[in-house]
Amino acid sequence: MAELLLSAFLQVLFHRLASPELLKFARQEGLRKQLDKWGKTMERIREVLDDADEKQQTKKTVKAWLDELRDLAYDVEDILDEFAIEALQHKLMAAESQASASMVRNLVPACCTSLTPSAIKIKFRLGSKIEKMNTRFYDLMTQKDQLNLKENVSPRPNKRRERPPSTSVVTKGHIYGREEVKGAVLQLLVSEKHSDASNKVPNVIPIVGMGGIGKTTLAQLIYNDQKVESFFNLKAWAYVSEDFDVATITKTILQSLTSKNCDGKDLNWLQVKLKEKLLGKRFLVIIDDVWNENYYDWTLLRAPFEVGAPRSSIIVTTRIQKVSSLMRNKEVEPFQLEGLSNEACLSIFTQHALDARDFSAHQNLKDIGEKIVSRCKGLPLAVKTIGGVLRSKHEDYNEWEKVLKNKIWDISMEESGIPSSLMVSYDNLPSHLKRCFAYCSILPKDYKFEEKEVVLLWMAEGLIKPLQDEEEMEDLGSKYFCNLLSRSFFQQSRINESQFVMHDLINDLAQSVAGNTCFRMEDRVGGYCYLAHHVHFKLVPRLHSLRVLSFNGYNIMELSDSIGDLKHLRYLDLSQTRIRDLPESITSLYNLQTLLLESCICLKKLPLMFRNLVNLRHLNIEHANSLEGMPMQIGKLTCLQTLSNLVLGKDSCSGIKELGPLKHLRGTLCISRLENMIESKDAKDAELIKKTKISALWLEWSKYIDESKHTTSELEVLNGLQPHDALMKLVIINYGGTRFPNWLTSPSFPHMVSLRLENCYNCTSLPPLGQYVPSLKNLSIEGMANVKSVGSEFCGSNLETLHFHDMEEWKNWSPCEEFPNLRELFLHKCPKLLGKLPNNLPLLNKVVINDCAQLVVSLSCFPDKCKFNIEDSEVLDMEGVVCGSKVTFKSIKFSRSLSPISNEGLDMEGLAKSEWLSIINCEELADLWSDNKGSLPHLSFLRHLKELIKSVSSRVYHHYPRH
């Protein structure tokens, strides 16, 4: 374990030692020989890491040597950081000097020599640290020889963790919770309904999920199902694991089908015989536990299977999404296994712990047993393992309590297959992913995280080092993340698709491999930790080597000046704090890559010399709404990729021209307070049309503007801010022009899927979106007070969601007859809107209409299963769902008349599931029970019955008392 992480870390140090900037600085300071010496020493140390990793299991002195080596490696990284900082300071000093008088400029070269007092001071300070490093290197090399650590003469073969191979045999009585997915796979295998998807021979069906989730068990259930037995002529089972050898797998399958020994035969003979056996036969083959990601190997393996009869199938189980993508037919989606239900897990647990179906005969263990099962988070292997461990504890409550308090990872290897089962996933990671995964040990259990958040942390810790200069760290980090996701180390959150979680056992695995390099306060003190207001003032000065510092969510209002001493800091998160301003010392953090100030609602300004943060890549000031502007010359931050908001301030602030040099911006960019632009023509200098990686653009004027001082032409500004044609989302807010810019009324955005126009109060018409933005899926129009008519603008569109809000003067809607893809329609506060809704809305599944009193709404134009909520009309408020030719109401209010129901051709059966019923001033109340209207059904779901005014039948209260 130590060898894996240390070797990867040393590789990072070698990369840094070869950095051109560092070598240039070292030559100038006379330190080049020292760096070369370190590199050679580390190379010799790396050669013995394999041997040290083997011996540390039995020799404490070797483990101590590895710990010392790790500490030294971290300290070397720190001093290399200091070299880089000094080099950058020199560069900035030279740049500042060049901007001054010519006499001073002539002195600049002297600043970069080792003869200046500044350079002598640097050499003296760093020199003492170098001497200490040399001594520590010498001691380590001496100890290496004393410990008799041997250098590698040949690469050490990868260690394989011994795991018993799977077989096709299953104990059906002990399997729970996979009935639904089993049925779906069987449908795909044997049902005529799915024959079209199975025409390709063989039909390959992947089952994907993390280790221990039950992939093999599901495959066993399917393999032994009676329908499968009768449907297929031939069946075979092959266990593969990490060693994907085509000849071995082919031999296993052939021997399974023929019961003949094939030892000593070559691949050609094996494949010819297998092809002969399968010719014209309908077969099912299970290939269990596949890890190989080589497409050529797979095509070679599957060649003999292509001669089978139609509907022949191969089921592949794997932990890796990429494997399923390589092996599956495109017509068949892989089956992604999720955790079992709590009920199924309890059944598995009681079966193995108590040899019973439930806790009915062991009530004293029920509560603690349920707590133990909940810790397993739906992982059947964990449930089964712990149940097996407790089986030998003689139903002793105290023993069960010990298991509950311990980590599952603490169960001995002899008793548990969990560490071995999951550790094999870690063993198969490449070295760069091992370090990234181990770092995730800092994430609390059940913590939901986003991809970008984790990638930025990896960057800050130096875990992402692109080999090619043109590849960005963020892009490489995204590949790392997707790789770990593909291998089931991360799981997508069920609540929010943009977020991810780690299963508790995977989290335990990360802590196990990270060892004592990870410290989590909550593990030591239990529960949540709180930080007193003054603590950060005392804490920060002591943490000189920090790469990452987060005070996210803490109630702090100021930051200590000592923050500037954290020279190695690359990631600083002050989001959701009450900080008012940042100390100027923060601008000396030359290594800072990420600064997060999201929702810092009290923050008014950024430091004056903010431009010194030349390595800053991500600045998030989203919802920092008190910020008055950006500091001068922000355009010097040419590494910036994320700039959530360019706030255009007054007076001594960066103008919109500063966007021009920021050529690497990507993701979402907002430009706010556009009313502060002095010259409209400056908008073109922002060069948005060249920023091809910006996917979403917000252009925003303030809502309340002093028109007497506002002189720039907003149309000219908007014309100058034309984005590139790959833009996917555009938002324009509080625009005061009378028409939209030319670039929005021409076919310029083939990839745009979302457009929002808000409070463009002087515009009298919408741009022709259907004609020029055919890819548009989501459209929101709000507060356009001068628009009176909407018509052909949407013709040809493929809209899926359409929102109209606060349209005071809108009267006429003459839409095209069809919105073939529309799924959601919202109409809010359109009081003058006349006419009817479009008739042809085949995919509509949600309609919300309120404060549109003059609009005629016919439920008959809504398709089956469409949910509707229509409020505040003069006669009728109603919420419900269309069910074929009928309507089921969840709530309904009649006012003055029942005619809306009868005019729609609806009957009273639709009220059967109503939870809320209000009937006010209704003359036709007696007709509720008449034959021509239909009988009022028994309202068994009713929760609220509002007072009936005027004629109230006693039968109403007799049958339906108020709740």
Q: Is residue 618's pLDDT more than 90?
A: yes
CA distances for 495 relative to 49, 177, 462, 824, angstroms: 44, 22, 31, 20
Q: What pLDDT score does 426 carry?
A: 83
Q: Report yes or no: 474 and 459 within 8 Å, Cβ to Cβ.
A: yes
Residue 438: φ, ψ to 5°? -60, -35
Q: Report yes or no: 454 and 481 within 8 Å, Cβ to Cβ.
A: yes
- Residue range 553-572: average pLDDT? 90
Residue 957: pLDDT band (50, 70, 90) is very low
For β-strands 824-828 and 801-805, DSSP reports them as: parallel
Q: Which residues pair with 449 in a beta bridge?
A: 500
pLDDT tens, position by position, 873-904: 555 678 888 887 778 777 777 665 555 554 55
Our CA dihedral for 78, 80, 85, 88, rounded to 10 degrees, sits at -160
Q: What pLDDT score does 930 carry?
A: 46
Token pair of 171, please? 């104990």
Mean pLDDT over all residues of the chain? Answer: 82
Q: What pLDDT score does 368 carry?
A: 92
Q: Report yes or no: 620 and 575 within 8 Å, Cβ to Cβ.
A: yes
Q: Is residue 862's pLDDT more than 90?
A: no
Contacts of 867 (CB under 8 A, 6+ apart): 845, 846, 847, 880, 881
The single-letter code of the amino acid at 464 is I
* Cα(781)–Cα(804) distance, integer angstroms: 5
Query: What DSSP character marks residue 541?
Result: G
* Cα(499)–Cα(490) distance, integer angstroms: 10
pLDDT tens, position by position, 291-317: 999 999 999 999 999 999 999 999 999
Token pair of 802, please? 């359409």
Token pair of 784, please? 């356009």
Region of poorest pLDDT, from 65-69, 244-248, 795-799: 795-799
Token pair of 708, please? 């007497």
* Cα(505)–Cα(511) distance, integer angstroms: 10
Q: Is the omega angle on the peptide bond into residue 117 within 30 degrees of 0, that is, cis?
A: no
Our CA dihedral for 205, 207, 208, 212, rounded to 10 degrees, sits at -160
Q: What pLDDT score does 642 carry?
A: 97
Q: What pLDDT score does 103 carry?
A: 38
The answer to whether the pTM exceeds 0.95 is no
CA distances for 596 relative to 495, 532, 583, 602, 660, angstroms: 25, 21, 15, 14, 23
Q: Report yes or no: 113 and 29 within 8 Å, Cβ to Cβ.
A: no
Q: What pLDDT score does 101 carry?
A: 44
Q: Report yes or no: 197 and 332 within 8 Å, Cβ to Cβ.
A: yes
Residue 570: pLDDT band (50, 70, 90) is very high
Q: What pLDDT score does 91 carry?
A: 73
Q: What pLDDT score does 690 carry?
A: 94
Report the sign of the C-alpha dihedral through residues 385, 386, 388, 389, in that order: positive
For β-strands 694-700 and 499-501, DSSP reports them as: unpaired
- Portion of the chain with pLDDT greater than 90, in percent: 40
Residue 84: pLDDT band (50, 70, 90) is confident
* Cα(99)–Cα(106) distance, integer angstroms: 11
**3-state SS class at 694:** strand
Token pair of 914, please? 């109503």
The single-letter code of the amino acid at 461 is E
Q: How many residues does the chain have?
A: 963
pLDDT tens, position by position, 946-955: 655 444 444 4
Contacts of 910 (CB under 8 A, 6+ apart): 880, 886, 887, 888, 889
Query: What DSSP character marks residue 527?
Result: S
Q: Which residues pair with 887 in a beta bridge?
A: 882
Token pair of 468, please? 């090619």
Give the Cα-Cα-Cα angle 487, 4, 21 (nearest 5 degrees). Answer: 100
pLDDT tens, position by position, 467-508: 766 789 999 999 999 999 988 899 888 888 899 999 888 888
pLDDT tens, position by position, 91-101: 777 766 665 54
* Cα(487)–Cα(425) distance, integer angstroms: 8
The single-letter code of the amino acid at 662 is L
Q: Is residue 367's pLDDT more than 70?
A: yes
Q: Is residue 240's pLDDT more than 80?
A: yes
Q: What pLDDT score does 937 carry?
A: 57
Q: What pLDDT score does 933 carry?
A: 46
Reported for 234-238, long-range contacts at CB under 8 A and 24+ positions apart, including other chains, are 234/277, 234/278, 234/281, 234/282, 234/283, 234/284, 235/168, 235/283, 235/284, 235/285, 236/283, 236/284, 236/285, 236/286, 237/166, 237/167, 237/168, 237/285, 237/286, 237/288, 238/285, 238/286, 238/287, 238/288
| CA-based nearest residue to 920, from 939, 894, 885, 892 | 894
Q: Is residue 276's pLDDT more than 70?
A: yes
Give the Cα-Cα-Cα angle 430, 431, 436 (nearest 5 degrees). Answer: 100
* Cα(445)–Cα(571) distance, integer angstroms: 22
Q: What pLDDT score does 757 carry?
A: 96
CA distances for 302 relative to 255, 273, 645, 738, 862, angstroms: 16, 14, 53, 65, 49
pLDDT tens, position by position, 722-744: 999 999 999 999 999 988 998 98
Instruction: Quickly tell me which residue has 């997060």 as its tokens.
Output: 596
The residue ranges of DSSP E strands in 152-311, in sequence order, are 203-208, 234-241, 283-290
Q: Report yes or no: 364 and 397 within 8 Å, Cβ to Cβ.
A: yes
> Which H/E stretch holds residue 154?
none
**3-state SS class at 123:** helix
Q: Which residues pair with 882 in a beta bridge?
A: 887
Token pair of 176, please? 């729970």
Phi-psi region of 311 (alpha: psi -120 to 50; beta: other; left: phi over 0): left
Q: Which residues pair with 207 in a beta bridge?
A: 317, 335
| CA-based nearest residue to 341, from 374, 318, 317 | 374
Q: Is residue 683's pLDDT more than 60?
A: yes
CA atoms within 13 A on the CB side of 759: 9
Identify the residue with better confidence: 230 or 931.
Answer: 230
Contacts of 750 (CB under 8 A, 6+ apart): 725, 774, 775
Q: Report yes or no: 200 and 325 within 8 Å, Cβ to Cβ.
A: no
pLDDT tens, position by position, 461-474: 988 988 766 789 99
Contacts of 430 (CB under 8 A, 6+ apart): none
* Cα(85)–Cα(560) distance, integer angstroms: 21
Identify the residue with better confidence: 581 or 837.
Answer: 581
DSSP per residue, 552-579 = TT-------GGGGG-TT--EEE-TT---
* Cα(421)–Cα(725) distance, integer angstroms: 49
Q: What pLDDT score does 200 carry?
A: 72
- Residue range 201-228: average pLDDT? 92
Q: What pLDDT score does 876 carry?
A: 66
pLDDT tens, position by position, 899-934: 555 455 455 566 666 666 666 665 555 455 444 444
Instruction: Quickly tell me which residue has 């930080």 as its tokens.
Output: 531
Give the Cα-Cα-Cα angle 729, 733, 735 (nearest 5 degrees). Answer: 120
Q: Is residue 708's pLDDT more than 70?
A: no
Token pair of 670, please? 């907002």
User: What count of other Cβ atoms lies within 10 Å of the Cβ of residue 525?
Assistant: 9
Q: Is residue 104's pLDDT more than 50?
A: no
> Which H/E stretch holds residue 71?
helix 60-98
